[in-house]
Amino acid sequence: MARGHDGIAYAPRGLCREEAARYVGVGTTKFDELVAARRMPKPKRIDGRTVWDRVALDAAFSDLPDDGVNRIDQLLARRTS
């Protein structure tokens, strides 16, 4: 018996390369560069499949530096000027 859609909305834990790149908001070339520079995690191997752990991507993304500009402070400064 074929199983249909389970009806539960949840993010997958494992992502392919293209999905992982899209998840962190970059193209695949930039994602490959980030992985090579160890700014993004290396993938896991599941049998012959290469899979990125979404939770590890979240942690690596959180560790990336901010651009140094706080948009809220900028907007508040404009209102008080």
Neighbours of 9 (CB within 10 A): 5
Burial classification of residue 73, based on how many CB atoms lie within 10 Å of its CB (0-12 exposed, 13-18 middle, 19 or more buried): exposed
Alpha helices in 26-81 (DSSP H): 28-36, 54-63, 71-80
Neighbours of 4 (CB within 10 A): 6
DSSP assignment letter at 53: E
**For range 59-68, the mean pLDDT:** 87
pTM strictly above 0.85: no
pLDDT at 79: 75
DSSP assignment letter at 27: -
- pLDDT tens column, 24-63: 999 999 999 999 999 999 999 999 999 999 999 999 999 9
Pair 56, 41: CB distance under 8 Å? yes
